[in-house]
A and B are shown apart, each in its own frame.
Chain A
Amino acid sequence: MGSLNAEHQLFQQNPVTWSWEQVYLCSSRILEIIAFDELKTDYKNPIDQCNTLNPTVEKVKKIKRVKIALKLVLPEYLIHAFFCVMFLCAAEWLTLGLNMPLLAYHIWRYMSRPVMSGPGLYDPTTIMNADILAYCQKEGWCKLAFYLLSFFYYLYGMIYVLVSS
């Protein structure tokens, strides 16, 4: 558990950002899942939906709920990448190893996105395809689980360091 010492240092460097970001990751995933569920159950037009999920440069139409939090995909990827960089700096090899597959997945996912001029991941014309929608939903749940587990793992690490110091 020596590595958690470094975690502690990381935590001490920027404790507010750390916890906030992890919470953000979880909540963003939840919201994304909700968003796809809304799509599936017919509440929303896919154009609006993709506009909320994709960080479009143009002004997005007013969205009923969780307006800010829904512009998620890219911030999520960036925050996760930022985490990884921090772990790398802190030489947290175990934690970094745990996060590397997800980072690689994110990179792959962004590389293989549909042809799009702006940033973003979801294409309104194909999102309603049952396979793609199901895939996005499943992806959402898996990532949510991963973020939750890692949240508790980091929390445990933090408390462990706090207690042992």
Chain B
Amino acid sequence: METSFDNGSPVQNWMQFPSGYGSHPPNYSAPSGHYSQVPNKAAASHLDNQYRASYYPTYYSSPAQNVMTPSVGTSVLNTQESQQLYNKTPHTVGSAEGPVQGAISSASYLHTSAQQSYSAFGNHYSTSVSSSVASQGFPLNSDHYAMPVVSSAVYPNVSYPPAAPGSVYGQAFTSQSLPVVGQVKETNKFSSQSTSVPHSLQQHVPVGYNTTLSTTSSAQSVQDNLCSNLTRSVAKVNNQINTEKNLSLSISQKFAIPKAPNLNNFPSPAIDSSSTTSSASPVLNNYDALEGGGYPETRSVTSSPVPAPSVPQTSKASKPFGYGYPTLQPGYQNAAAPTPVQPSNPGHHPGLQHYPQQYPGVNQLTSSIGGLSLQHSQQPESLRPVNLTQDRNILPVSSVPAPVPNLNSDLRKLNCSPDSFRCTLTNIPQTQALLNKAKLPLGLLLHPFRDLTQLPVITTSTIVRCRSCRTYINPFVSFIDQRRWKCNLCYRVNDVPEEFMYNPLTRSYGEPHKRPEVQNSTVELIASSDYMLRPPQPAVYLFVLDVSHNAVEAGYLTIVCQSLLENLDKLPGDSRTRIGFITFDSTVQFYNLQEGLSQPQMLIVSDIDDIFLPTPDSLLVNLHESKELIKDLLNALPNMFTNTRETHSALGPALQAAFKLMSPTGGRISVFQTQLPSLGAGLLHSREDPNQRSSTKVVQHLGPATDFYKKLALDCSGQQTAVDLFLLSSQYSDLASLACVSKYSAGCIYYYPSFHHSHNPAQAEKLQKDLKRYLTRKIGFEAVMRIRCTKGLSIHTFHGNFFVRSTDLLSLANVNPDAGFAVQMSIEESLTDTSLVCFQTALLYTSSKGERRIRVHTLCLPVVSSLADVYAGADVQAVVCLLANMAVDRSVSSSLADARDALVNAVVDSLAAYMSTASNLQQSMLIAPNSLKLFPLYILALLKQKAFRTGTSTRLDDRVYAMCQMKSQPLVHLMKMIHPNLYRIDKLIDESTIHVNDRVVPQPPLQKLSAEKLTREGAFLMDCGSIFYIWIGKNCDNNFIKDVLGYPNYASVPQTMTQLPEVDALSSERTRSFVSWLRDSRTLSPVLQVIKDENPAKTEFFQHLIEDRTEAAFSYYEFLLNIQQQVCK
């Protein structure tokens, strides 16, 4: 694919299209007369025109009108064509009109490619006109009708290049439907808006696809990434960046050249970039295609000699920014009289906005139809009262979607993906009083460094920021005029720098609102030296390994060394990457790996009270220069200590040595520890009383026993060093104290209880998989993260692994893609004078390639003044995750019982507050708004989670680990931990399916976590995030056992089974594709465990059935009754 693209120069592509091109010019030349055919359409564009003219009186009006002519021609062309098609039957079209047929075929050709790369893009931007025609005029057309619309939408922008012959598009052409579905599924997976509706989505695909109307999600993603595509058109992708799947846009100093885009300079990088992009792996490419796509469009913009046709896009693109929010406000706030031409809602997507209505499951979407307010429409779905005690089936069919903020469609499309940035209340209450009344926590759930397959990377010499609050320019700022923009957080009016006036996408001057920074709510900026305190550090990795008797016995060294050997070349870094090893038992051993030595040299320091570095220069060595020595060491290490009799562990001194070694550069320390540290500084004593494990009263020792590890972590953090802890112990190791070393240095914590390489293969496999991910995942060094929010809001508390440097600044020595953060917010001043609030996180880090980068996410949310609206916008998953974080803090600072009470009270208070607002409800029932119907269930799940449960025997380390996880996991993983997904998998053949990458993936419905759903005749899969359990009933169908598990009958299935065999049967294939689909959607690859009835792991499985009664805890129904009692009190 890469090659085909590389070869296809723009010139060649142009040449490919003589016929298609030839058939069109006549249409172009017949402009305005056709207006009458499409009155609504014409009106829309006309209005746009007027509108724009009035807002940009001096600058825009004249060029815009000029430019508009081709676009009008375009629309006319579309409508004309499609009407022709409409009037005639498809086959007549095909046979009768030669040219048109040619157009159609090329259209469909284009269409394919457009889909490959966001067909909706063209629709939305260049000729939204045609899309509205399509959606209104031919809502249910077959492929043939709609396609010309698409194609002609693309045509005027001279997108001949896209149909690069011989490229992958050509192949895609032949099998249109399959990739489409697959791609839609991709969206489905990644942009969570649509996750709830895979089936309906699939059904609607033909319509949405062909009319380019697409679904909301795809439209949104298109919009989101529009500019990344455009960006890429001018992009120069250097290979370095490309390996990280990012696309770099080098908007160099050339910008300053006003209105004189150098045509000769740009096209070739443009082609380069497109080709490199599409050279990603097939999977990524698909995803790219949906979320980042638009190559055809892109290229047409860049390679077309006349930039004019793209200018009409401005009118659309500029909508959200072209005028200040104040003018928008009427649009959201009083929908009482939504004039047909609401400025905020330019009427170009009526179909799109109603589309969500077709899905019954997507309650949140309904509330935001048209992006208008709730009060005046009928009661939104998210407020529909649900009687919890009577309604037993409250779980959605598939995973719970994130609510969509009630914004107008333009803003909604620009908004940050809920995967990276979520707020517990998608409608922000106006005052703290209102927030207190709602009894719901206000906060943000962040996953800022998430692996993104599509991320616009921008190089620019001036990073545009607000002069007073230092906010980065973002899609939600307003441009007052050409030269000034108003900050959306502090409302200061700033100047637009000269360089920013140049738009690299159209290579035209004076379109600051079309810059990628203003088109994407998630961008990455390459920072200049102003953002450095010192030269960017190299990637430095130090491994600190426990080699005491206990560790050797557990046998983890082999796995670690093996994984390291395998992934040595994949460690993120550049030519400066350095690596070092320290081992410790009762002494500390260093390894001199200096280049030139014949073999690694071990240096033993036994003075652990005053640790020193024997040869400070040669312990951390360049990975590439000393690779052979490193490999030798890794091969030798597992056998070096086999006969050790040393049982003590001097972890503290080893860490001190590691800190000394790392402090000149900073980097990452990975510590592997297998027992309680028993020597030197930081030694710990066993604090756990096994008899208290199942105590219902007090759980002690959740906090650290010493501040040694905390102090060390702070020192490390100050030297930009993070400590990651791998605890592989079979006994109590006081994780509560040890974890501090990672918590405050922004590291991460892994815990493998009762680890043994042969006795516990599941844990061994998990370590192996975790290590693979750990060693190869992206890493950011010397990072800081600042969270800014609209004036009036302030940050209350942070949750996660970091050190808080000031009220809004987190110091992260390392940042990894699996780290999540939570932030509690409070409302300090009333927000009455604004209708939108924004949150911006800026993560400044040094990439493993030694580049200083800033990743900026911006989230925009509406402000509401009524309690009902606050409930309508509640995001129950985010609320639960934030509450879990708060409860962890509470149980450490106060007590576990307190934290449990607080959790229950959170439900009771919020439901009571809700019921008191809805006066017409019967007080005797337990009613929740639809948006919060899962709240009691999730809270019950939390109470039964290892971290907070009482009465069930829980080891202290397990509990502390669960708490650490709650604080540091991103929302998606945390939700799986709290409330696992249960599927029935013995009848997967009958389930509806989706297509992902040409694979058929069945979509069984979610089951309640209750034993009543388990039947002896079935087999069930439980997805707990880090582990999959497959439970097999005693009377399970023998065919299933034979086909899927590969054993003749139930009795012969072994106790420890961690893999599904590849059997050539449909059910086996389906099951495996389902499991791997579940696996693909997360970064930690979970371990699979097959459970039979008499398996000891059975208890683990049944502990997750949280709706059932246990001897120590309520069943779900009892819990509801209990809440009801308290609510009515």
Contact between B803 and A125, CB atoms less than 8 A apart = yes
Give residues 10-60 of A contacting B (CB, 8 Å): 39-42, 44-47
Interfacial residues of chain A within 110-149, with CB under 8 A of chain B in the complex: 114-117, 123-125, 128-131
Q: Is the CB of A46 within 8 A of B708?
A: no
Could you tell me how many residues of chain A have their Cβ less than 8 Å away from some Cβ of chain B?
A: 19
In this complex, what residue of B is CB-closest to A127?
B804
Is the Cβ of A130 less than 8 Å from the Cβ of B805?
A: no
Q: Is the CB of B797 within 8 A of A129?
A: yes
Q: Tell which of B706, B794, B807, B808 touches A117, judged by Cβ atoms closer than 8 Å.
A: B706
Contact of B703 with A115 in the complex, beta carbons under 8 Å: yes
Least CB distance from B610 to A in Å reads 16
User: Distance in Å from the Cβ of B684 to the closest Cβ of chain A?
Assistant: 12
Chain B neighbourhood of A44, CB < 8 A = 806
Question: Closest Cβ of chain B: how far from A63's Cβ, in Å?
Answer: 16
Enumerate B935-955 residues with CB–CB distance to A below 8 Å: none
Q: A124-B714, A130-B795, A130-B796 are in contact. Are A116 and B707 (CB under 8 A)?
A: yes
A40 touches B707 (CB 8 A): no
CB of A125 to closest CB in B, whole Å: 5
B799 nearest CB across to chain A (Å): 10
Contact of A117 with B708 in the complex, beta carbons under 8 Å = yes
| Docked pose: A44 CA to B798 CA in angstroms | 18
The verdict on B549 contacting chain A, using a C-beta distance below 8 Å, is no
CB distance from B780 to the nearest CB of A (A): 21
Give every chain A residue within 8 A of B718 (Cβ-Cβ): 47
A57–B805 alpha-carbon span in the complex (Å): 23
Q: Are A125 and B807 in contact (CB under 8 A)?
A: no
A residues within 8 A CB of B744?
A: 125
In this assembly, does B705 line the interface, its C-beta being within 8 Å of a C-beta of chain A?
Answer: yes
Knowing A129-B797, A131-B797, the reply to whether A117 touches B806 (Cβ < 8 A) is no
Q: A42-B806, A45-B805, A47-B714 are in contact. Are A130 and B707 (CB under 8 A)?
A: no
Interface string of B709-749 (1 = CB under 8 A from A): 01100100010000000000000000000000000100000
**Secondary structure at chain A's binding surface: helix, strand, loop or mixed?**
loop
A7 to chain B, nearest CB (A): 42
Contact, CB under 8 Å: A128 / B705: no
List A contacts of B710 (CB < 8 A). Answer: 123, 125
Question: Which residues of B (739-776) have their CB < 8 Å from a CB of A?
Answer: 744
- Contact status B805-A125, CB under 8 Å: no
Q: Give every chain A residue within 8 A of B795 (Cβ-Cβ).
A: 130
Task: Determine the distance from Cα of A39 to Cα of B806 in the docked complex, in whole angstroms.
Answer: 7
Complex-state Cα separation, A46 to B804, whole angstroms: 8
- Give the complex CA separation of A125 and B798 in angstroms: 11
Task: Please measure, in the bound complex, the distance between the C-alpha atom of A45 and the C-alpha atom of B807, giving whole angstroms.
Answer: 10
Q: A42–B807 contact, CB under 8 A?
A: yes
User: Provided the pairs A47-B718, A130-B795, A130-B796 are in contact, do residues A125 and B706 lie with their beta carbons within 8 angstroms?
Assistant: no
Pick from A115, A116, A131 the residue with the most CB of B within 10 Å: A115
* Nearest-Cβ distance from residue A137 to partner chain B, whole angstroms: 13
Contact at A130–B826, with CB atoms within 8 Å?
yes
Rounded to whole Å, the gap between the CB of B301 and the closest CB of chain A is 43
Q: Bound state CA distance, A41 and B704, in angstroms?
A: 30
Chain A residues near B807: list those with CB within 8 A.
Answer: 40-42, 128, 130
The answer to whether A117 and B797 have CB atoms under 8 Å apart is no
Q: Is residue B809 within 8 Å, beta carbon to beta carbon, of the partner chain? A: yes
**What 1/0 mask marks residues of chain B from 877 to 897 whose CB sits below 8 Å from any chain A CB?**
000000000000000000000
Question: CB < 8 Å: which of B705, B708, B804, B806 contacts A125?
Answer: B804
Interface centre among A47, A124, A128 (most CB of B within 10 A): A128
Known A128-B807, A130-B796: A117·B826 in contact at CB below 8 Å: no
Give chain B nearest CB distance to A143 CB in angstroms: 23
Q: How far apart sit A41 and B804, CA to CA, in the bound complex (Å)?
A: 13
CB distance from B807 to the nearest CB of A (A): 6
A39 to B807, CA, bound (A): 8
Specify the chain B residue showing the minimal Cβ separation from A133.
B807
On whether the beta carbons of B714 and A115 are closer than 8 Å, the reply is no
Q: Which residues of A contact B704 (CB under 8 A)?
A: 115
A128 and B707 contact, CB distance less than 8 A = no
Q: Smallest Cβ distance from B719 to chain A, in angstroms?
A: 12
Contact B804 A117 (CB under 8 A): no
Known contacts A47-B714, A124-B714, A131-B797; decide if A117 and B707 are in contact (CB<8 Å).
Answer: yes
Q: Which of A40, A117, A130 has the most CB of B within 10 A?
A: A130
Known: A47-B714, A47-B718. A128 touches B703 (CB 8 A): no
Of B706, B710, B744, B809, most A-chain CB atoms within 10 Å: B710
Among B708, B711, B808, B809, max chain A CB count under 10 A is at B711
Q: How far is the CB of B595 from chain A (nearest CB, A)?
A: 37
Interface residues of B in 803-837 (CB under 8 A from A): 803-809, 824, 826
A99 to chain B, nearest CB (A): 29
Contact A130 B803 (CB under 8 A): no
- Residues of chain A within 8 A of B796, CB atoms compared: 130-131
* Chain A neighbourhood of B806, CB < 8 A: 39, 42, 44-46, 128
Q: Shortest Cβ distance from B304 into chain A, in angstroms?
A: 49
CB distance from B229 to the nearest CB of A (A): 39
Q: Give bound CA distance, A29 to B409, whole Å.
A: 54
Q: Let me know if A46 and B797 touch, CB within 8 A.
A: no
Residues of chain B within 8 A (CB-CB) of A117 are 706-708, 711
Inter-chain contacts of A40 with B (CB < 8 A): 807
Interchain CA distance A129-B796 in the complex, whole Å: 7
Q: How far is it, in angstroms, between the C-alpha of A128 and the C-alpha of B806 when the chains are bound?
A: 7
Q: How far apart are B1003's CB and chain A's nearest CB, in angstroms?
A: 43
Chain A nearest CB, measured from B665 CB (Å): 20
Instruction: Chain B residues near A131: list those with CB within 8 A.
Output: 796-797
For residue B809, which residue of chain A has the nearest CB? A42
CA distance A116 to B826 in the complex (A): 30
Closest to A44 in B: B806
Q: In the complex, A42→B795 CA distance in Å?
A: 13
Q: How far is the CA of A124 from the CA of B713 in the complex (A)?
A: 12
Is the Cβ of B797 less than 8 Å from the Cβ of A130? yes
Nearest to A42 among chain B residues (CB) is B806
A114 to B703, CA, bound (A): 9
Distance (Å) between the CB of B989 and the closest chain A CB?
54
User: Which residue, of A41, A42, A114, A125, has the highest number of chain B Cβ atoms within 10 A?
Assistant: A125
Compute how far the CA of A124 lies from the CA of B797 in the bound complex, rounded to whole angstroms.
14
Does the CB pair A115–B707 fall under 8 Å? yes
A117 to B826, CA, bound (A): 34
Q: CA–CA, A46 to B824, complex, Å? A: 19
Q: Which residues of A contact B (CB under 8 A)?
A: 39-42, 44-47, 114-117, 123-125, 128-131
- A-B contacts besides A42-B807, A47-B718, 7 pairs, CB < 8 Å: A42-B809, A46-B805, A117-B706, A123-B710, A125-B803, A129-B804, A130-B794
- Report, nearest first, the 5 A-B pairs whose CB atoms are least far apart: A128-B804, A42-B806, A130-B796, A129-B797, A116-B707
- 30 residue pairs from A and B, CB less than 8 Å apart: A39-B806, A42-B807, A42-B809, A44-B806, A46-B805, A46-B806, A47-B718, A114-B707, A115-B704, A115-B705, A115-B706, A115-B707, A117-B708, A123-B710, A124-B714, A125-B744, A125-B804, A128-B798, A128-B804, A128-B805, A128-B806, A128-B807, A129-B797, A129-B804, A130-B794, A130-B797, A130-B807, A130-B826, A131-B796, A131-B797
